[in-house]
Structure 1
Amino acid sequence: MTELPQTISTNQLVIRTIAMPADTNPAGDIFGGWLMAQMDLAAGNMAAQVARGRSATVAAEAMSFLRPVKVGDEVSMYASLLSTGRTSMRIYVEAWRRDRYAVDREKVTHATFTFVAIDEEGNSRALPSKEKT
C-alpha cells in the first residue's frame, strides 16, 4: 500500500450517537460488538468517500477496550485515512465516550479497518485516481 497525501482531515468526526439500553450486555454495559459495529460504520462512511462508491470491510485489526461505555453516553467515532492500495484502503478509527452530564470525554477503543472498493457485482475494483476531485 502506498501512503496518500492527506485527502481527508485527520481525526474527522464521522459518527456521534447515544448508547441506548437495547445495546447492553447482561452486566448493563454496552456490548463491545455494538461499539465495533459503530466503528465499522464510521470507517465505511470514510471508505465510501475515498472509493466514491461501494466498499466492503475485509479486516479489522485487534481492539482493546480501554473503558466501558454506559447507557446514555454520547459516543463519537473519529476516523482518518492511513493509506491506500490499488483497490484497498486502511482507515484508523477511535471511539470516545462522554457521560451525558459531563464535559470531559475519554477514549474507549481504537482499531484499523481495511476496506476494498467493490463494483455492483461485489468484485474488487480500482480506487479512483487521486487527481480527481
Structure 2
Amino acid sequence: MTGQSAARRDPILRVMPSPGDINSNGHIFGGWVLSQMDIAGGIVAHREAQGATATVAIDSMAFIAPILLRDVISVYAEVERRGRTSLGIRIEVIATRDRGATEVKVTEGLFTFVALDENHRPRLLPA
C-alpha cells in the first residue's frame, strides 16, 4: 500500500470465513476472498466517485498464502490511480491467526472501477 503497517491503518472490511467457505484442502476458496476484496474496493470507489460504480477489471491478482478457517481477514483498499471515469483501487488482505499473535499477507490485487450515471453508463469522476 503506501508503506503503512496494517496496525496503523483501518481496514475497509474485517470478516471471518465460515466452515462453508472452505475447500477440500482446508483453505478458504479463492472466489470467497475475491468477493470480499470486490466489496471493500467498491466501498472505496463509491466514496471517491460520490456515487455508483462498477468493477470492470481485475488488473492484477496474487494469492500469496492460504486463508485458514479460523483466520480473521482485514481488507485494506486505497486509490492507486485516478482517470477521467475510472479508479484503480489497490487491495490488500491480511489474515490474523493464532488468536491475534500472527499477521500474514494472504493476497493483493489492483481492481478497476468505473463511475456510473443513472443510465449505468460511465460518467466523469468528481473533481
The two structures have a TM-score, normalised by structure 2, of 0.88
Alignment-derived partner of residue 67 in structure 2: 69
Shift of residue 69, structure 1, vs aligned partner? 0.5
Q: Which runs of 5+ in 1 are unaligned?
A: 1-10
After TM superposition, the runs of 4+ consecutive aligned structure 1 residues lying more than 2 A away are none
Give the structure with the higher percent strand.
2
Question: Which residue of 22, 25, 38 maps to 1:24?
Answer: 22
Shift of residue 61, structure 1, vs aligned partner? 2.0
RMSD: 1.6
Alignment-derived partner of residue 83 in structure 2: 85
Larger mean CA deviation between 64-73 and 86-95 belongs to 64-73
CA distance, structure 2, for counterparts of residue 89 and residue 66 of structure 1? 24
Q: Number of residue pairs matched?
A: 120
Alpha carbons 1:12, 1:79 under 8 Å: kept: no
CA distance, structure 1, for counterparts of residue 32 and residue 66 of structure 2? 12
CA distance, structure 2, for counterparts of residue 100 and residue 77 of structure 1? 18
Alpha carbons 1:80, 1:93 under 8 Å: kept: yes
Larger mean CA deviation between 98-107 and 32-41 belongs to 98-107
Alignment-derived partner of residue 4 in structure 2: none
Alpha carbons 2:49, 2:125 under 8 Å: kept: yes
CA distance, structure 2, for counterparts of residue 104 and residue 28 of structure 1? 19
Alignment-derived partner of residue 5 in structure 2: none
Shift of residue 116, structure 1, vs aligned partner? 0.2
Any idea what SS the aligned residue of 1:96 has?
strand
Alpha carbons 2:97, 2:103 under 8 Å: kept: yes
1:16–1:68 CA distance, 2 compared to 1 (3 A): same
Alpha carbons 2:60, 2:111 under 8 Å: kept: no
CA distance, structure 2, for counterparts of residue 102 and residue 63 of structure 1? 26
C-alpha distance after superposition, 1:53-82 (max 9, x if no partner): 100001112322111101121000011111
Letter in 2 for 1:50: E
Alpha carbons 1:54, 1:119 under 8 Å: kept: yes
